[in-house]
Structure 1
Amino acid sequence: MPTSPKEQRFLAALQKEILEFFELNDYRSYSINQIHKAFAIRDRKTKELYADIVHKLALENRLIKQSDGNYRYDNESFQTEGRVDHVNARFAFVIPDDGSKDIWVATSDLMNAKDGDRVRVQARKPSEKKKNDRPEGEVIEILDRKSSEIVGVIQVTPHYSFLIPDSKKIYEDIYIPKTETLEANHLDKVIVEVTRWGTPGKKAEGRVIKVLGKSGENETEMHSILAEFGLPYEFPEQVELAAEAIPTEISAEEIKRRKDLRKILSFTIDPKDAKDFDDAISYQKLKNGNIEIGVHIADVSHYVKPGSVLDQEAYRRATSVYLVDRVVPMLPEKLSNGLCSLRPNEDKLTFSTLFEFDPNGIIVKEWFGKTIIHSDRRFAYEEAQVLIEHEGESTDPYEPVIKDLNRIAKKLREHRFSHGSVNFETVEVKFELDEHGTPLAVFPRERKDAHKLIEEFMLMANKKVAEYVHELKKTEPRNTMVYRVHEAPDPEKLRVFSAFAKKFGYQVSTEPKQVSQSFNALMENVEGKAEEHVLQSLAVRTMSKARYSTDAIGHFGLAFPFYSHFTSPIRRYPDVMTHRLLQLYLEKGNSPERAPLEIQCKHCSDREKLAADAERASVKYKQVEYMALHEPQIFDGIITGVTEFGIFVEIGETSCEGLVRMVDLNDDYYDLDKENYRIVGKSNGRVFSFGDAVKVKVRDTNLAKRTIDLELVGMRSNGQRFENNRIRKRQSRSSHVIPRGKSRKNNIGRKRR
C-alpha cells in the first residue's frame, strides 16, 4: 500500500492509464504478459505492480477476468449463448438463442469453435462511437459441438495425411496420422471423426471413419453432401425391420372406425417422377347444387406410433431431403412409397378435410376426420395441365372435374391475394440427367395452373385445420397446436430493399399495413422485365424465414392468422404432430403441455434448414458440373450481387450463378459503392450495377468448391494484360533514345500522357 500522497497519486495515475488502455482496446482481451508487452515493462517489480493493479480492477468489477485468465474492459458487457455462423476466415457471428442481435466475433476470439457449434459468448453493447449497433464479443466456452464428423477430400502424403473440409465455413485442414486413414486413396472423399480439436497454432486431429469413394463421382458427391450437413442416407436395421413388420392388409375393424369415401371420385396430381403420393383430391356434386371437395392426406400417424423406433427415426430426420438425383425419405420405403402412398386403384387410410362449396366458391360447411379412400387415377402435373388448357368437346371424363377444381382454386387464390397474401414466384431449376447422373440440360421449373390448383387446396386444408383447433377452446390458454408461423419483414431489411427498388423506379412501402399490397404491386410491375428475377430474389431475402411454433402468431406471407402443416406427413414430421393433435381434439382429449412440443418444433425447423442447405448444395454442384461442359459458350446474364471481391452474375437460361472476380476486371481499378449496389471504375468511370445485363463466359469451374468463375465478354484477359505489360516494359527500356527534333522535355511529357 502507498505510504505517501505522492505514491497514491502515482498509483491512481497508473490505474487510470491501464483502464484507458483497456477502454481504447475494448474489442479484445489481454493476458498479464500481453499487458506487460503493451506497456514495454521488463523488470520484475514493475511487472508485479501492474499485475496487482489489473487484479484489483477486476475485483472492483471495473475489468472482467475471463475463464481463460485474460482480462477485458467491461463496456456494458453481458453473456449469452448461441450458435456460431462462421461467415468467413476473419470473423464469425454468434446467433443468440434468445433471438437478440447477432454478435460479431473475430476468428482469433472463437476459442477454436467451428461453424454450427453452440457457445457462450462474452459480448459488449456497442459504444456510441460505433457506426452500427451490432454488439461484439468473444467466445468464453464451447457448450456443444455441432458434430465431431467432418466430410472432405483427403490429401495423402508418405508420412501423414490431412483433410480439406467440403464445408465452405470450415477454414482449417485436419491432420490425420498415417495409421488413421482407413487405407483411403489420395483425393478420396472421406468422413473424418475429430479426435482432438485444435488450439491456436495447432491443427485439429482426426481419423477416417468412412471412405465415400473417388472425388468427382456422382454417388460419392451426393453422399458427401448429405454427410456434410449431417443428414443420414441409410436407415438403421431395426427401423427397416419395424417397417417390414407392419401388416399390409386393412382390417374390417379399422374400416368401421372411419368414414368410407371409397366410392367418391378421387385422384392425385403430382410430379411425373414422384413415388410418394401423400395427398389426393375428391370431387362430388351434391343434391343441393353445391360441390364437396375433399383433401385426403396419408394417415401416417396410424402406422407410426409415438415413441416407436419408426417415430424416433422420423423425428430425428424430421424431413425428407430432395437432392437433384434422389430423395432421402423421412420414412422407410415400405411406408413412404407403399403403405402410406395414395397409389391409384388401392384402398388407403387417410386423414381428410371435406369442404362444401356453394356455386360462388364460398365454403359453407367443413368436416375433419379419419377416412378410407380409393384413388381412381394418378395424374402428372403435365397431364392435368393438358385437360385445363383443352378447348372444345372433351373425351376425358376427368376434364370437367379438373376444370371446375381449377375455377374454384382461382377464386381461392384471388381471395387470398385480396386479403394481403404476398405473391412470390421464386424460380426453381430442374435437371435432365443421364444414367450416370451427369447433367445433360438445366432449365427453370415451370409453375402452371395445375400446380397452383393443388397448392390452393393444400393451403386451404392447412389453414382450416389450424383455425379449427384454435377456435375449439375460446379462452386462454388455447389448445396446444403446431403452427407454421412467419413474421413480418425486419424493418431495417425492408428499408434497404425499398431504397434499392427505388433506384429502378419502383415504390415499396415500409408501412406495416401496406407492405403486402406494395410487394404484390412490385411483382406485377416487374413481370417480364430484365430486373424481374433480381428484385424477386431480393424481396424473398427481405422476408423472415417461416418456422414451426406452438405460438399462434400468424403467417405474414400468406396473410393467415392461423396456419399449420397438415398435408405432407410422409415427408414432414410436423405434419405427423399436427395429425396427432387434431385427432386428440376430435376425440375430446385434453391439451398437452406446450414446452415439449415447442422443443420439437425448434428441432424440426433446424432440420428443415439443414435439408434446404443440402438441396441447394446438390443443385449448385450439378450447375457447376453442367457449366464445366460449356466453357467456351457466351451467355446472357444479370448482375445479382456486388462485393469488394467481385460481381455475381446469374446466367438467364440456366439460372447458374458465378463470380466475376475483381482482379479480372483489369481495364481499371474498381471501387465498391455499397450504398448504390455497384462498382465504379476509378479512371474510366465504368459502372457495374446490381440488375445490369451483361454477357459472360465461363472462365473456370471448381467442383470441389462448387464455384463458377466467369469473365465479362469484351474485357481484356489476364493473358492480354501480361502481353501489354511486356510490350510497355520493352518500350520503356528504349525510351532513353530521344527522337530527332524533339526535346527531352517534350518526350517526357508524351510518355506521361
Structure 2
Amino acid sequence: MIWLISPAVFLEKDCPKSPTEADLESDPLVNTYHHLEEQILRFLRNHGQRAYRPKEISKKLNITGNESFRIFQSVIQSLILEGRVGREKGGRITFRQREGHLEGTLRVHRDGFGFVTVEGEEEDLFVRARRMNNALDGDRVLVTRLAIRAGDDRPSAEIITVLERTRKEAVGTLHKQGSFGIVIPDDLRLQHDIYVSDDGSSGAQDGDKVVVSIDSFEDKRGAIQGTILKVLGPSSDPAVQILAVALSSGVRSDFPDGVDAEIMSGKEALLQTEEREDLRKLVIFSIDPADAKDFDDALHITELDGGDIEVGVHIADVSHFVPPGGEIDREAFARGTSVYLVDRVIPMLPEELSEDLCSLRPNEDRLAFSCIMRLAPDTTVQSFRICETLIHSKHRLTYQDAQDIISDDASTHVLKRVLTVANRLAKKMSQDRLERGAINFNSVEVKVVLDEAGHPIDIVPRVRYDAHKLIEEFMLLANRTVARYMSEDSPGAPAAPFISRIHEPPDREKIRQLAAYVRPFGFNLPNQDGMVSAADLNALLNAVSGSPVGPIIEVAALRSMSKARYGVELKGHYGLSEKFYTHFTSPIRRYPDLIVHRLLKGKLAKIKGPKASELQAQCDHLSERERVAVEAERASIKLKQVEYAAGHLGELFSGVVVGVARFGVFVQITDLLVEGLVHVRDMDDDFYQYDEGAYALVGSRSGRRYVLGNQVRVILAAANTETRDINLIFDGLKTSRPRRKKARKRSKR
C-alpha cells in the first residue's frame, strides 16, 4: 500500500516512537483508512465504468468532517498511484481492473485450499493454502493466474489482495490464556484462530461457545483480532452445540428490538375482515406433522354436480400482517426462510405471528389468501379464482391421522369421503406429472430421535405416506396455477415482473459424467452430448430401483441436477416439468412466497409492482439464504449422527460401499444410517490403487476390489463431533490409527 499521509502522522500525538507494523495494523485510525479504502473500491466496482468526482463519492459514502475528508483524499490518491482506480478527464474517478488480474469470490475447503469463482470463467480457479494471502472463506478477492503445474491441469491462482470481507462474525470455542483468549472457529473453512482480549466483561468461561466479531488481521502471520459479541453457553450442552452449528452457517437467531410494537398492530389487523370472502361454513382442514406449530396451509374439497370437484388451497395471509419496509419485514427478508434444525425451528417470523396470528389454527377464525380451483374428473383446471378470505379450519390432522383414515376402508371419520377423493385426485396428478416428464426421485431422508437432554437415541428413515403426497400435490397445483396467472398478460399491458421458482436442465458435462458413472454397473443413460430427456432419467431410476447400488446411483443422479433458485426469468422447472412455477403456499416460512402474495394482490388491485431488476436482486439474496438454511439443517443432522455413532465405538456392523476415492472407501452403516470413511492408510492388507474408470480401489497383490454397492463388514473406530468425521475399518484389518486434526494457523506471540 502507498501511504500519501503516513500512518505515523495520524499517531504522532500518542506515539513518541515510530510505530511498528503491528501497531499500525491494530490502530483504529489505520483501520479507518482500510475501511474507507474498501468502501471506495466497493462503491466504484458496483457502478461499473461510471466515473465520479471525489466529492460525489464522499457524499455517497456520508463522509463528513475535515479530518475524515483529509483521510478520504489520501485514500483516493493512494488508490490512483497503485492503479486500483483511474483518474479521467475533469478529475473523475473510476474503477480500474488491473491488467492480468481477476476478481472473484473465494470458497475455502476444510483442508485449507480453496477455489475462486470468477464471473465469465468456465472453471473455478484453484488456490493452494499457502497462496491464500490471509483471505477468508466468502471474501471478494483479486487473483492472478499461475502457470499450469506438471501433472496438474487445474487452472490455479494466487490471491493478490482481499477486496471485501464478507464474513463479519464467527462462532467457536473459547480457550482462555491469561489476559487474552483464543477462539477456535467451528467452521473448518475458517483456517485462522481468533484472538480476543479477556477482561471478564463478556462473562465467557473457558470452553464456552461464543460469537465473535472478525475485526482485523493482527499481523501478516495469520492471526485475527476479534471481540466477543455473545456467549452461547458451555460447549458440552447439546442445545448450545446445535445453536452454534446454525449461527456458524450464517443463520440469524435473535429478533431485533422493535418487532413487539408491530406485533401488537398485527393483533389489530386480525379484526379487519371486511371485503373478504367468508368461507367459514366450508369444511376446511389441515394436515401437518405431529409437532407442527406453524400452519401455512389448509384445504377444502367439494364434489360438484356433473362430476367436477372444487379444491380450495387456503394459505396464511402473512402479507396482511407484515407490511413491506417494517422492522419485521426487514428481518424476515434478511433471514429469507425458517430453518428446521434437528432439535428446533428458527422461524423467519416472530412466534407471535408464525404460531398464532398468521397460523391457520383449528377452530379459530383466520385470514387467508386462497386459490380456489374447479377441477374436471381428469384433474384439468377448468377455472380458478384467487381471493382474500376469512376461514375457520374445522379439523387439524397429523399425517398419521390422515393416513389412518385413508387406509381404513371401514373408517367412519367425517373426513373419510373427502380424503378418499383428495387421495384419488393426488395420485392422478402425480401420474400426469410423471407422464409430462417430471423426474421421480425417491431418496430416503433420516430423522434423528433425541432424548429430553438433546442426545440422539435413534436414527430412523423418514416415512412418506400417501397423506404426505396428497398435500404435496395440492400445493404443487396451487403454485403452478398462481404462476400461470401471474405470467399472463393483463388487458392492454404485458405481464408484470414476477418471481418464478427456476430449475434449469442439468449441465451437459454432469450428465456425461453420470452416464459414465452408471455404465460399469450395467446401466445405461442415453444422452445426446450431455442432453438427456426426463423419460430416460426416469428409466434409469426405475432400472436401479431395488438393486444394491440403487440408492447410490439415485444420489448421484440427484447431484447431477441443477440447483433450483428464484428468478424473474421464465425458464420453467425441469424437475417438475412445469413451464410456469412459483412458491405461493408457505409464506410463514419462506420469504419468496410473501413477495408472491404481495405481487398477486398488486395485480388483483391493478397496482404497478417493482422493477424486474429489483425483484432479481431480492431473488439472488433469497436463493443464497435458502442455501444457508439447507447447510445448517444438514450440519445439525450430521452432528447428531456423529454423536450417535460415538456411542457405538468398537462395534461391528454391516454396511454398503457408497463412495470410492483415491484416499479411501465410504461406507454407509445399514443399522445406524450413518456414513463413515475407511481410509486407505488403514487398508494395510494390500497396496490399493484407484481405478478411475471403474470407480474402484484395487489391491495390487490380491486383486481385491472395493466398488460401489459392495456389502462389507466394518468396525466403528472413531467419531469426532468437532470435525463431524466417522472413521471405520474393515473387519479383519488392524485397528484404525487415530486421525490427527490438522493444525490451524497460529501467530507466534
TM range (shorter): 0.7 to 0.9
Give me the whole-angstrom Cα distance separating, in 1, the residues matched to 2:316 and 2:135. 43
Structure 2 residue identity aligned to 1:588 = K
1:296-375 correspondence runs (5 A):
296-375=314-393
Once the two structures are superposed, residues 380-429 of structure 1 have per-residue CA deviations (whole angstroms, 9 ceiling, x without a partner) of: 001111112112x3311211110110100111111101011001122211
What residue number does 2:627 align with? Answer: 609
Q: Separation in 1 of the partners of 2:722 and 2:136? A: 20
2:138 to 110, 116, 123: 116
Structure 2 residue runs without a partner (length 5+): 1-81, 86-97, 738-749
Residue 154 of structure 1 deviates from its aligned partner by 2.2
Indicate the residue corresponding to 2:697 in structure 1.
679
- State the shift of 1:127 in Å: 7.4
Q: Residue 129 and residue 669 in structure 1: after superposition, are their counterparts in 2 closer, same or farther (change >3 A)?
A: closer
Matches within 5 A, 1:372-521: 372-391=390-409, 393-473=410-490, 478-511=495-528, 514-521=532-539
Query: 1-side partners of 2:256 and 2:666: how far apart?
Result: 42
Q: Indicate conservation of the 8 Å contact 1:180/1:207, yes or no.
A: no
Q: Is the 8 A contact 1:112 1:199 kept in 2?
A: no
- Change over 3 Å in CA distance of 1:607–1:249 after alignment to 2: closer
Q: Aligned Cα RMSD in Å?
A: 2.5
For residues 290 and 329 of structure 2, the distance between their equivalents in structure 1, rounded to whole angstroms, comes to: 29
Deviation of the 1:240 alpha carbon? 3.2
| SS of equivalent to 1:256 | coil
Cα distance between partner residues in 2 of 1:184 and 1:584 = 50
1:4-403 counterparts in 2 under 5 A? 79-97=101-119, 100-123=122-145, 135-158=155-178, 160-177=180-197, 179=199, 182=202, 184-197=204-217, 200-247=220-267, 250-251=270-271, 254-391=272-409, 393-403=410-420
d(CA) in 1 for partners of 2:495 and 2:132? 43
Distance in 2 separating the partners of 1:114 and 1:373:
51
How big is each residue's C-alpha offset from its partner over 1:317-352, in whole Å with a ceiling of 9 and x where there is no partner? 110010001000000011100011111111111111
Closer, same or farther in 2 for the Cα pair 1:513/1:366, shift >3 Å? Answer: farther
> Helix, strand or coil: the match of 1:246?
helix
Distance in 1 (alpha carbons) for counterparts of 2:193 and 2:497: 47
Q: CA deviation at 1:131?
A: 7.3
Q: Shift of residue 179 of structure 1?
A: 4.3
Q: Please give the per-residue CA displacement for 1:356-384, whole angstroms capped at 9, x wherever unaligned.
A: 11223322111112111111101100111
> Within 1, Cα distance between the matches of 2:199 and 2:270?
55
User: Residue type of the partner of 1:204?
Assistant: I
CA offset at residue 644 of structure 1?
Answer: 2.9
TM superposition score normalised by structure 2: 0.82
Aligned position for 1:659: 677
Structure 1 residues 664 and 181: alpha-carbon distance in aligned structure 2, compared to 1, 3 A threshold: farther
Change beyond 3 A, Cα 1:178–1:335: closer
Cα separation, partners in 2 of 1:675 and 1:513, compared to 1, 3 Å: closer
What TM-score do you get using the length of structure 1 for normalisation? 0.81
Q: What is the CA–CA distance in structure 1 between the aligned matches of 2:120 and 2:585, rounded to whole Å?
A: 30
Equivalence for 1:53: none
Asked if structure 1 preserves the Cα contact closer than 8 Å seen for 2:106 and 2:117, the reply is yes
Match of 1:237, SS?
A: coil
How far the C-alpha of 1:206 sits from its partner, in A, is 2.3
Task: Give the letter for the 1:303 counterpart.
Answer: F
CA distance in 1 between counterparts of 2:189 and 2:471 reads 38
Q: Which amino acid aligns with 1:299?
A: D
Whole-Å Cα distance in 2 between the matches of residues 278 and 623 of structure 1?
30
Count the aligned residue pairs: 644
The structural deviation recorded for 1:136 is 2.9
**1:612-627 to 2 correspondences below 5 Å:** 612-627=630-645
CA distance in 2, matches of 1:401, 1:87: 52
Shift of 1:717: 2.4
Distance 2:660 2:723 in 1: 20
Aligned to 1:26: none
Partner of 2:570: 552
**Counterparts in 2 of 1:352 and 1:179: CA distance versus 1, 3 Å:** same
Q: Match of 1:745?
A: none
Q: Is 1:240–1:332's contact at 8 Å kept on the other side of the alignment?
A: no
Change (3 A) 1:77 1:692: farther
Deviations 1:148-203 (A, max 9, x none): 21111222334643222111212232233454894533332222222322554342
Determine the C-alpha separation between the residues in 1 that align with 2:689 and 2:517: 19
* Most deviating of 256-265 and 473-482: 473-482
Return the letter of the residue paired with 2:414: P
Give the deviation of 1:223 after TM superposition. 1.6
Within a 5 Å distance, the mapping from 1:538-549 to structure 2 comes to 538-549=556-567
Which ranges of structure 1 fall in alignment gaps of 5 or more residues?
A: 1-64, 69-75, 720-753
User: Partners in 2 of 1:642 and 1:482 — Cα distance?
Assistant: 40
Bigger Cα Rg? 1
The equivalent of 1:738 in structure 2 is none
| Post-superposition CA distance 1:653-688 (Å, at most 9, x none) | 332111112221111222222332221222222211
The CA deviation at 1:613 is 0.5
1:466 partner amino acid: A
Distance 1:183 1:248, change over 3 A: closer
Contact 2:297 2:360 in 1 (8 A): yes
Check 1:464–1:123 CA distance in 2 against 1; reply closer, same or farther (3 A cut).
farther
For residues 498 and 312 of structure 1, what CA distance do their matches in structure 2 show?
45
User: Bigger CA drift: 187-196 or 305-314?
Assistant: 187-196
Q: Which residue in the other structure is 1:645 paired with?
A: 663
Question: Does the Cα contact within 8 Å between 2:148 and 2:156 map onto a contact in 1?
Answer: no
Going from structure 1 to structure 2, the CA distance change for 1:537 and 1:504 (only over 3 Å counts) comes to same
Letter in 1 for 2:302: Q
CA contact (8 A) 1:239 1:313 kept: no
Q: Is residue 710 of structure 2 the alignment partner of residue 692 of structure 1? A: yes
Distance in 2 separating the partners of 1:79 and 1:598: 28
Q: Do the aligned partners of residues 178 and 551 (structure 1) sit closer, same or farther apart at CA in structure 2, a change above 3 Å counting?
A: same
- Between the aligned partners of 1:135 and 1:717, the Cα distance in structure 2 is 39
Alpha-carbon distance between aligned partners in 1 of 2:359 and 2:706, rounded to the nearest angstrom? 51
> Match of 1:255, SS?
coil
Distance 1:433 1:683 in 2: 46
Question: Residues of 1 paired with 2:453 and 2:527: CA distance?
Answer: 50
Match of 2:68 in 1: none
Q: Does the C-alpha gap of structure 1 residues 148 and 513 become closer, same or farther in structure 2, counting only changes over 3 Å?
A: closer
Q: Which amino acid aligns with 1:242?
A: E
How far apart are 1:89 and its partner, in Å?
Answer: 3.6
CA spacing shift, 1:527–1:198, aligned 2, 3 Å: farther
| TM-aligned CA distance change 1:356 to 1:682, over 3 Å | same
Work out whether residues 112 and 191 of structure 2, in 8 Å CA contact, stay in contact via their aligned partners in 1. no
Distance 1:221 1:128 in 2: 42
- Matched to 1:531, the amino acid is V
